[in-house]
A and B are shown apart, each in its own frame.
Chain A
Amino acid sequence: MSQVNRLSGGQVNRNTELNFRFDGRSFKGFEGDTLASALLANGERLMGRSFKYHRPRGVLTAGSEEPNALVELRQGNRQEPNTRATVAELFEGLEAKAQNAWPSLRFDAMAVNDRFSNFLTAGFYYKTFMWPKPFWEKVYEPIIRKAAGLGSISFEEDPDLYDKGFLHCDLLIIGAGPTGLAAALTAGRAGARVILADEDFRMGGRLNAETLALGDVSGADWATETLAELASLDNVRLMTRTTIIGAFDHGTYGAVERVQDHLPQAVAEKPRQILWRIYSRRAMLCAGAMERPIAFADNDRPGVMLASAVRSYVNRWAAAPAQQVAIFTNNDDGHRTAADLIAKGVNVPAVIDVRADAPAVAGTELLAGAEVIGTQGRLGLTSITVRLANGQTRKIMCGALAVSGGWNPNVHLTCHQRGRPQWDAELAAFVPGPDLPIGMTVAGAANGQLSTAQALSGGATAAVVALNDLGVAASPIAVPQAEDAPIALKPFWHVRGGKSRAWVDLQNDVTVKDVKLAHQENFVSVEHLKRYTTLGMATDQGKTSNMLGLAVMAELTGKSIPETGTTIFRPPYTPVPMSTMAGRATGKHFHPTRKTPSHVWAEEQGAVFTEVGDWLRAQWFPRKGETHWRQSVDREVLQTRKSVGVCDVTTLGKIDVQGRDAASFLNKIYANGFAKLPVGKVRYGLMLREDGIAYDDGTAARLAEDHFVVTTTTANAVLAYRNMEFARQCLWPDLDVQLISTTEAWAQYAVAGPNARKLLEKIVDADVDISNEGFPFMACGEITICGGCRARLFRISFSGELAYEIAVPTRYGDALVRALMAAGEEFDVTPYGTEALGVMRIEKGHAAGNELNGTTTAQNLGLGRMVSKKKDCIGNTLSEREGMNDETGLRLVGFKPVTDTDPVLAGAHLMNASGAVNARTDQGYVTSACYSPILGSAIGIGFLKDGANRMGERLRAVSPLEGSEIQVEVVSAHFVDPEGERLRA
């Protein structure tokens, strides 16, 4: 029994038959079908279950506004929940499962909820489940969560690719129905850069779904001809399967193009979908209108559909929803459906029109002034009950009911920038308001011009206006003769007096009774109505239900519909896969990976790497036989302190500062003085924020009278540069100073240890004197190495050893590390990574990121005296505030465990030796800790209240997280070489 409801004609390709499966059964359809149209053609009306009551549901619409027919498409790692069958293009082998139904779609055990619907009214859960108190999380909520939700995910990673792209145009036309096509042809012929985007896989909009002629051809043929001409124009880009999801600022639109969703198998290396950011100078919304339903008792059975959707299925897809289709309408448009069905040979038992003066329809019985008051059929409609104008009721057998309650212009995108639509009494619908996104115009049905003729001329005219606005001359295309029927509609929202429930929001199971209850309980604002009843919060965002809900509420409150207002339309227009918004920036590509100049060399050495911001840095260099990272790190530290080690420090920020006023500029940037720093010298510098908090430290080296090199921490390289540019451009704009970030331009290595000089002597060119006298501690200079290679040498030390930092242009970075290692072979040089670097700086008591945490002052760091009071510099005024100068406040100190084998934990809190342990007795915290191989125990540094005056005191370092508590002794943070003899050696 294949395709029992397939009609003749339509725009499906009967030469390509496609096999597909739905809910475990096999079917056949044609190329050009959607899953919904193919199921209807096969006589299947039941496609889903509702959210709350698990009522059987069929397809309501033929488009992206579908609330009912949601399926799980595909399987395994491509399983896709909540896919609307109405927009899923059929492909060979398509697999879809019904969702939110167990054990099967036809028999769903959870449908028992429907029996209790009288107890499960709007907001019932706010009134119960409160006793006993622990039962909410333990009993009630787990049951509710399991029952709720719609589709499910596979928990597997999506294997498909996603891309992002950027497009620019003069005119973006949203929607390729008659309006959009007329606009695009007008603009295209005028030579403007046009993008025409449509969510459908076939452009033409309602022209494909109607039998109306345009001139002497069918609407669909006119669309085909127009598209052919547009495709021939180089200045026009046609984007099918592309949904404009949002109208953002300054003419920017988000668009999602479904590149491969219609293919059985994704083509590898091609994206499944693309998120486009479209920069438009002008945009035209030609998104048409959506038909709306009428609420009546049991209006949710499979087979109850929108009349326009019935026409779409019959005319475009040649699929009849049933053998007998009745019509229920409040306007002339519903009559068109009857005519089209009859023309296709489908039996139309009656047209039920609420208007007493409804015009007659040929080929069927008109029941004027009648209303549908009930429906029958468990899994699909079998009959309807009609109350005739004379008050009698009549049962009419039918498998489908086509309902038309009028049309709502598709104003969604006009409201994305908080514009509000306005009421059009003639249409009984909201039309775009005056506050459109800047650069947007609306034409055709989206603007309330519902006839085909209005759409065509409206589109052409609006395109001319938009282009003229841009200074492009254009004239409207000659539009063909087309249908121009006036609006003939009687506002009618719901049938009164039925005993059964009448659905407003089909997916979320919100009925007219729920709206009434919300009103009774004073949830009368549309926003309260929505939130209390969940009206319009389903996957369709109320596209077919919101209007109905607020019309019912308006009736109850006695206010007009415009007074009642609307909820807010928010992006995206239709739901977007999360991966599409993420694009390629996921997994390993989430952030760029910055590699240091020695990266390749370090890889060759078997280094273990760690993430430092976007950088990858060598963490340690394991040697043969080392099984634990501590062995490697201890060795690197000891070897460096004993002989010499090399570490890549390229990641530190470097800022080149040049100009006549460079010194006075730095004097304003740093808290300490720089005006008098001699050429050839380096100075440690502390940068404050304007609020007086220390935020970065580093060095500035004076290479020439008018030339400094500033270094920052790795973490603050970008921020420090930004702040310095702010000071230069915004605070002291007339200083003669120029800045450039050179972090990536120079490869820089620390060479540290007693043999550092001996090693470097083998590298530097003969005329360079790096003796202790010729190049003392804190000296710097531009030198040459390895026979003429340009380099910079700084005698600075983070490790506390005799140490240098040597920099060469980045392209020589790899060569330099190899040269350093080769030269150091005789000293048994070791490369060291960030762990050993960290150990040595803790041993030396240098502050780093853990200490510069954005809340510490210079005083906290023990550097209070560095803050000059004699000059204007960023941060010094506010650093003098009383609250930041507590003499007994936090001070940076060191800690040693009383028992050598005890570990010190960074993040442990400090407590007095005895007494209570709680927040009130807190004395401070350990910021950084490590095992010191030199001292043979763990050590830590951290902030302690009144720390400077508590040397030698015993405290407890507690970490209740781990249940640990150890005794520590307060010591100077300078564990190694406190007098600094080594670094001056």
Chain B
Amino acid sequence: MMIDHPLLGLRDAQEFTYLGDASLIDRPDWQAKDAQDQFHDYLYLRDNPAGEHRELWFHETGDRSWLVVTRNTLTHEISKVELARDVARARGRST
């Protein structure tokens, strides 16, 4: 597979390490009343879609960017690649 890195252009997926669903960005609030349940759902439950999937890849042997790749799990077509940091900020993560 080839991943179109937003900073570096097309790179072989072999340069990357795969983590999984990009929802892992949405780490719950540790002080919420039901924090344990929220963390359970966050860490263990997955949509696991057959189709478009937003997922985290780490450019481990490259520039060490975490990327959010939108990829179809049936065809492996990649429709979008973003810097995970930008995605995280857009989803309200900060400090």
Answer whether A and B touch in the complex at a CB cut-off of 8 Å.
Answer: yes
Residues of chain A at the chain B interface (Cβ within 8 Å): 248-252, 279, 417, 438, 661, 664, 690-691, 718, 722, 725-726, 729-735, 872, 876-878, 880-881
Nearest residue (CB) in A for B89 is A733
Q: Known contacts A249-B1, A725-B64; is A661 also within 8 Å of B88 by CB?
A: no
Which B residues form the contact surface with A (CB < 8 A)?
Answer: 1-2, 17, 19, 24-25, 27-28, 30-31, 35-36, 39-40, 43, 56, 58, 60, 64-66, 75-78, 83-85, 87-89, 93-95
Known interface pairs A249-B76, A250-B2, A877-B36. Does A730 touch B93 (Cβ–Cβ under 8 Å)?
yes
B73 CB to nearest chain A CB (Å): 12
Residues of B within 8 A of A438 (CB): 75, 77
Inside 8 A of B39's CB, which chain A residues have their CB? 690, 877-878
Which of B1, B43, B77, B93 lies in contact with A878, CB distance below 8 A?
B43
* Docked pose: A480 CA to B93 CA in angstroms: 66
| Contact (A729, B36) CB under 8 Å given A249-B76, A722-B58 | no
In the assembled complex, which residues on chain B have CB atoms less than 8 Å from the CB atom of A732? Answer: 93-95
Identify 11 new A-B residue pairs, CB closer than 8 A, beyond the known A725-B64, A732-B93, A734-B95.
A248-B1, A250-B2, A252-B2, A417-B75, A691-B43, A731-B88, A732-B95, A734-B94, A877-B36, A878-B36, A881-B36
- What's the Cα separation between A252 and B14 when bound, in Å? 12
Q: Name the one of B19, B36, B78, B93 contacting A731, with C-beta atoms under 8 angstroms.
A: B93
The one of A417, A726, A876, A878 in contact with B19, judged by C-beta atoms closer than 8 angstroms, is: A726
Please give the distance in Å from B38's CB to the nearest CB on chain A.
Answer: 8
Q: Which of B24, B39, B85 has the most CB of A within 10 A?
A: B39
Q: Check A722–B17 contact: CB distance below 8 A.
A: yes
**A279 with B27: in contact, given A729-B85, A877-B35, A881-B36 (CB under 8 Å)?**
no
CA distance A915 to B24 in the complex (A): 48
Chain A residue contacts of B28, Cβ below 8 A? 877
Decide: A726 and B94 in contact? CB cutoff 8 A: no
* Cα–Cα distance between A722 and B58 once the two chains are bound (Å): 8
Question: Does B35 contact A729, Cβ atoms closer than 8 Å?
Answer: no
Asked whether, in the complex, the Cβ of A880 is within 8 Å of the Cβ of B94, the reply is no
A878–B40 CB distance below 8 A? yes
Tell whether, in the assembled complex, residue B89 and residue A734 are in contact, meaning their CB atoms are under 8 Å apart. Answer: yes
13 cross-chain CB contacts under 8 A: A250-B76, A417-B75, A661-B95, A664-B95, A718-B60, A725-B58, A725-B66, A729-B65, A729-B85, A732-B95, A734-B89, A872-B31, A877-B36
Asked, given contacts A252-B2, A718-B60, whether A730 binds B35 with beta carbons under 8 Å apart, the answer is no
Residues of B within 8 A of A881 (CB): 36
What's the Cα separation between A722 and B36 when bound, in Å?
Answer: 25
Residues of A within 8 A of B19 (CB): 726
Cα A725 to Cα B19 in complex, Å, equals 12
In the assembly, what is the distance between CA of A725 and CA of B88, in Å?
A: 13
- B88–A880 contact, CB under 8 A? no
Complex contact A726–B66 (CB within 8 A): yes
Question: Is there an interface contact between B84 and A729, defined as CB atoms closer than 8 Å?
Answer: yes
B89 touches A250 (CB 8 A): no
When C-beta atoms are compared, the residue in chain A nearest to B93 turns out to be A733
**Complex-state Cα separation, A733 to B86, whole angstroms:** 8
**Chain A residue contacts of B60, Cβ below 8 A:** 718, 722
* Interface-central residue, B24, B27, B31, by most chain A CB under 10 Å: B27
- Which residues of chain B are near A733, meaning CB under 8 Å? 85, 88-89, 93-94
Chain A residue numbers with a CB within 8 Å of B77 are 438
Give complex CA distance A249, B1 in Å: 5
Counting chain A CB atoms within 10 Å of each CB, the highest count among B43, B65, B78 belongs to: B43
Answer whether A730 and B95 are a contact pair too, CB < 8 Å, given A718-B60, A878-B39, A878-B40.
no
- Closest A residue to B22 by CB, please name it: A730
CB of A730 within 8 A of CB of B36, answer no
Instruction: Name the CB-closest residue of B to A734.
Output: B94
User: Complex: how many Å from CA A876 to CA B35?
Assistant: 11
Instruction: Specify which chain B residues have a CB less than 8 angstroms from the CB of A252 in the assembled complex.
Output: 1-2
Rounded to whole angstroms, the CA-CA distance of A285 and B23 in the bound complex is 40
A166 and chain B: residue at smallest CB distance: B12
Of chain B, the residue at the smallest CB distance from A731 is: B27
From B30, B36, B43, B58, A726 is in contact (CB under 8 Å) with B58
**A877 touching B93, Cβ below 8 Å:** no
Provide the bound-state CA to CA distance between A876 and B56, in Å.
23
Partner of B30, one of A249, A691, A725, A876: A876
Q: Which residue of chain B has its CB nearest to the CB of A735? A: B95
- Tell whether A877 pairs with B30 under 8 Å between CB atoms, given A249-B76, A733-B89: yes
| Complex-state Cα separation, A878 to B19, whole angstroms | 19
Give Cα A872–Cα B93 distance, bound, in whole angstroms.
Answer: 14
Across-interface contacts of B89 in A (CB, < 8 A):
733-734
Cβ contacts under 8 Å, B30 to chain A: 872, 876-877
Whole-angstrom CA separation of A726 from B66 in the bound complex: 7
Contacts of A664 in B (CB 8 A): 95
Query: Hey, which chain B residues are within 8 Å of A248, CB to CB?
Result: 1
Considering the complex, give the chain B residue whose CB is closest to the CB of A251: B2
- How far, in Å, is B64 (CB) from chain A's closest CB? 6
Contact partners of B40 in chain A: CB under 8 A: 878
The minimal Cβ–Cβ distance linking A278 to chain B, given in whole angstroms, is 12
Smallest Cβ-Cβ distance to B86: which chain A residue = A733
Q: In the complex, which residues of chain A have a beta carbon less than 8 angstroms from the beta carbon of B1? A: 248-250, 252
Of A730, A734, A735, the residue contacting B84 (CB under 8 A) is A730
- A730 vs B93: C-alpha distance in the bound complex, in angstroms? 8
Give the Cβ gap from A435 to chain B, nearest Cβ, in Å: 9
Task: Decide if A730 touches B85 in the complex (CB within 8 Å).
Answer: yes
Q: Which residues of A contact B93 (CB under 8 A)?
A: 730-734
Contacts of A872 in B (CB 8 A): 30-31
